[in-house]
Structure formats: C-alpha cells, structure tokens
Amino acid sequence: MREAAPPQPEERAEERAEGRPPGRAEGRVRGWLRTLLRLTSLRLRLVTVFALVALVAAVSVSGIAYWLNRDAVLTRAQESALGDFSQSLGDRAGALSDDPSCDELRNMAAEVANHTFNYQVVLEDDRATDDRGGDGVECLAESDPTVFRLAMVPTSLREAVRERRDGASDEDAYHLYWQRINIDGDPYLVGGAQVIGGGPIGYVLASLEAERDDLKSLAMSLGVATGLAVVGSVLLAQGAATMVLRPVQRLSNAARRLGEGKLDTRLEVRGTDELAELSRTFNDAAASLEAQVDDLSERETASRRFVADMSHELRTPMTAITAMTELLEDEVETLDPRIAPAVQLVVSETRRLNDLVENLMEVTRFDAGTAKMVLDDVNIADQVTACIDARAWLDAVHLDADRGIIARLDPRRLDVILANLIGNALKHGGSPVRVTVREGMTDHGRQVTVEVADQGPGIPEEVLPHVFDRFYKASASRPRSDGSGLGLSIALENAHLHGGDITVHNDPAGGAVFTLLLPRDSGPPPEGEEDPDAADGLIGDDDGLIGDAGNARATRGGSEEGRK
C-alpha cells in the first residue's frame, strides 16, 4: 500500500470551499456517532422501554384522576352556588309586591348576594317602577356594579334564560342555566334564572378561584407522583436489566475468549431458566468445538510431520538422482537421438522434483514457526540489480529505484521474494517488467515499497483472491505447469516474516502489479546466529529462483496459447 500524500494547500482551500468540516469538526462528529452507537445498547433500550411504559401509565392514570377530580370539584361548586342562588332568589321574590320599585329590587339583590356567600347578583324586572312613579320601565339592580354588571353576562345565556319552553307548564316554562367564563384570566361561574310566575330575572357571578387553586395543587401532586413513578421505574428497570444482562455479559466475555482461542472456556450454569439453558448450550458447543479443534490440530501436526519427514527422506535419493541426471545431461550429445529426448525429459522433471522438495521443506519451516532470519543492512536498489543480474534479466527488466535506500532485512529471503515476483511477471506478463522502489512514511514507521508491474493482460478478478494460495492453479483444465504453485506463497511468507506484506491488483492501463511492503527495520540483528536454511540448498535451479514462478498466474487471461 502506498502512503497517502498529505493534502496540499490547494486541496485544503477546495475543502473549505466545499464546506467540508476540518479535522476538529470531524472528531466531534465521530464522537457524536460513538455516543449514538452507545445509545443503542440493550441496557439503555430496556431502561428506556421501562421508563416510557411507566411514563405513559403514570400520565394516563394521573390524567384520568385529574379530570375526574376536576369534574367532581367544579360540579360540586357549581351545584352549591346555583342551588343556593336559586333557593334565595325564590324566597326573596315571594316577598316582592306585584309592582316592585327599583329600590325594592336593589334591596333584594343585596340580600340575595349576602345570602349566597358574597356572590355578586344582578336582577332585572320589567314590572318594576322607578322612584318617580313611572311604571313599565325596566329596572336593573346590581349588588356591586364594580364587580358584576349585566353586560358581563354572555348573550347566549341571557337568551336561554328568557326563552319560554313551548308547551310546558308555568312551573317548567323556564330553567336555570349556567356557563363558565374567564374575567381577566380568573375563572368564574355565571348562572341565570327567571322567577316562576313572571317575577324578576336574576344572574349570579361566583368565583372559582378556590377550586382552581385546589386543582392546581392536585395537578402538582399528580405530576410529582408521575415523576416519582418514572424514576422508580427507571431504577427498577436498571436492576432488572442488570439481572438479565449480567448472564448475557458473561456469555459475551466467554464467546470473546473462545474467539481468542481459549477453547477451555466454560460458563457457570445457574438456575433452570432460559439463560441457564443458553449457558448449557454454549458449554456443549464449546466442548464440541474444542474436541474438533484438537482433532484437527492433531491431524494438521501429523500432516506437517509427514511432509517434513517426506521432504527430508527425499533429499538423499534426490541428491543421487540429480548427480546422475547431470551426468546424463553432459553426455546427451553422444547418446542415440532416439534416447536424447527422454534423457532431457528426465533431467527437467528431476529438477522440478528437486525444486518441489526444497519448496516443501521451506513451507514446513514456515508452518512450524522455525524459519529464521539473518538480518543485515541491505541497499534495496543494489539488491534488486543483483537479483536480475544473477538471472540474466537485465535486458527484460526496467528498474526505477531511489538509490541509497537502506533497510535492515534478510538479503537471502529478499532475493527469494524478488526472484519470484519478477520471474512470475516475466513468465506470465511478458517483458519489459517495470520494478519501482520507493520509500515512504506510514503510521508504523518508514517503509520500503517495491512494485513489480508487467505488460500482460492482467489477472482475472475471480483469481486475484487466490494468487497467493498454495498449489492454486487458475485453470482446472491445465493442472500441470512448470511450477508447483508454491512460489508466490513462499514469497508472501517471507514478506510476513519481515513484518511486511505483498498485495496484487490489475493496472487499468493493462498488466498486473505486485506491491511488496517492507519495514525499514525488521528487527534487531541476531548475535552469533547462523542461517538455519543456508545449508539446505534453497537456491533451486540454475536461474537461482527460490520456489517457482508458475503459481496461480500460469493461466491468467486464459491458456498459454490464449496469451500468445
């Protein structure tokens, strides 16, 4: 991977012009996102659901209780005021003369108001006569004109009080009517009735401030009760969530340990509920997994031991066979022309078999973790030049390298990597192969990047994920190739041994690009340690290739005939 270049001033200006937030704003956004993710935790969801249910229930109960009490309080106050007013109005109206004067009506209004707990009263009578003896003049009597006047009575109420019911008897011709109104923001009750038998019409104004204060106290009490209910439900939900989630947390921790490879992890089973059954199921699954992994490990160990033993056992006869084939190769020109092709085939196949044995031994070391490195200060450009010069690739490889890049690496293993990547590119991509060496800074320190690009058709997309797999061949119809399918996998293992990596992608302009990433310093130099692989003869054929270049790319872009 290449190191991303820092944004230039022009790029920052473009970001500001496009309204993209700077780094600090991005950090705040990421913090908000993390907070939002925490809000989705199961514990919080349980507590929230409990709180919402408690809130809805408490508000519903409080609302119903408030409205029931409000109706009862207002109804009681209204019935008390209107009943007392009606009784007092009827009693006082019986003492009036047939043609009462306005003074009599005023006295009656004052008496009715005093009798009804200082409610304010307005009386009107069309029969009353004024003080000058004229009759037929409507008379208004107001107990306190500064507080209650006839103009304050709603028109609809006055019309309802005066309206005579058709077909009703004299006793049922008129009814007592009432209405709640607000005066200067204060609640009042206004009632009106006409005295039976053509008497005066009376209106009463009763204050409901006391009832309003009582209802406010009730609402406050219900609000406090609702708040306490919600708080109590949250505490209860927290306790319930803790009880429910504690086993879940234990299960999560156990699953994490199991994922880390601690296959002996087990849960303590408590109780007989569903969570206990879940713990038993987890323990059974962990035990089964441990048994299967142990069995697979034993089989893998036996398989690796078999490959290692087989490789070592084959080396002795392979040494003798190789010596004999070299003698045959020296004498091939003197042999019968009919026998010479067979001898050439034996020589080539013997070399392939020898390379395969050496590669298997190398793979065995990687699998067993016994592969060692002998570190030295290596000039990367010189190392690449030496690699391609030793294999007579100078005319087919174009090197673009920054001179003076020094890295602490194992030169032999670096040669293995380069030989496989460049040889693979030459064999399947065609020349010229472009090798680029650069140095950059990453989060893990300074890093060396080596790119090997060819001029071929590229690697099919379905093959890209498998190019480093062992023995992978891209075409099932051509399982046999010049290589064993181990070269690129060995190169990747050597890169990992240095703490680096190898990636591959197709260049849009054509060809495949392999990118080798290596740290500048792969570790401290070992003291007095010899290369354990130096005596193994890992430099295989005459070209000096370690492994082979005929990996998965042997058939990329189709068969070899299709690549010509």
Q: Average pLDDT in the 14-31 region?
A: 55
pLDDT, tens only, 373-396:
888 898 999 999 999 989 888 888
- Termini Cα distance of the chain: 31
Query: Over 50: is that where the pLDDT of 463 sits?
Result: yes
Q: Which two tokens stand for residue 305?
A: 């031991």
**Given the structure tokens 């993710």, which residue do they identify?**
37
3-class SS shares of the chain: helix, strand, coil, % to 5: 55, 15, 35
pLDDT at residue 522, as a whole number: 66
| 504 vs 46: which has the higher pLDDT | 504
CA nearest 142: which of 178, 107, 188? 107
Q: Which two tokens stand for residue 477?
A: 């119809």
Residues 220, 225, 227, CA angle at the centre, nearest 5°? 95
Query: Over 50: is that where the pLDDT of 276 sits?
Result: yes
CATH 3.40.50.920 is the classification of domain 54-216 = no
DSSP 201-260: EEEEEEE-HHHHHHHHHHHHHHHHHHHHHHHHHHHHHHHHHHHHHHHHHHHHHHHHHHHT
Q: Please, are residues 139 and 102 in contact by the beta-carbon 8 Å criterion? A: yes
pLDDT at residue 327, as a whole number: 78
Give percent of the chain above pLDDT 70. 75
Q: Confidence class of residue 115 from pLDDT cuts 50, 70 and 90?
A: low
pLDDT, tens only, 480-527:
455 567 788 888 888 888 889 999 999 888 889 999 999 987 665 444
pLDDT at residue 277, as a whole number: 86
Q: Confidence class of residue 453 from pLDDT cuts 50, 70 and 90?
A: very high
Q: Confidence class of residue 450 from pLDDT cuts 50, 70 and 90?
A: very high
What are the residue boundaries of the structural domains of the chain, listed by start?
54-216, 263-368, 371-563
Give the highest mean pLDDT range of 440-449, 465-474, 475-484, 508-517.
508-517
Q: Please, are residues 174 and 201 in contact by the beta-carbon 8 Å criterion? A: no
Q: Confidence class of residue 127 from pLDDT cuts 50, 70 and 90?
A: low
Query: Over 70: is that where the pLDDT of 553 sits?
Result: no
pTM for this model (two decimals): 0.44
pLDDT, tens only, 178-210:
888 888 888 888 988 887 666 788 888 888 888
Query: What element of type H or E holds 161?
Result: helix 155-162
pLDDT at residue 25, as a whole number: 67
What fold does the segment set 371-563 form as a domain? Heat Shock Protein 90 (3.30.565)
Query: Over 70: is that where the pLDDT of 408 sits?
Result: yes
Q: Average pLDDT in the 201-224 region?
A: 87
Q: Average pLDDT in the 400-420 region?
A: 89
CATH 2.40.10.170 is the classification of domain 263-368 = no
The DSSP code for 333 is G
Number of Cβ atoms within 10 Å of the Cβ of 109: 25
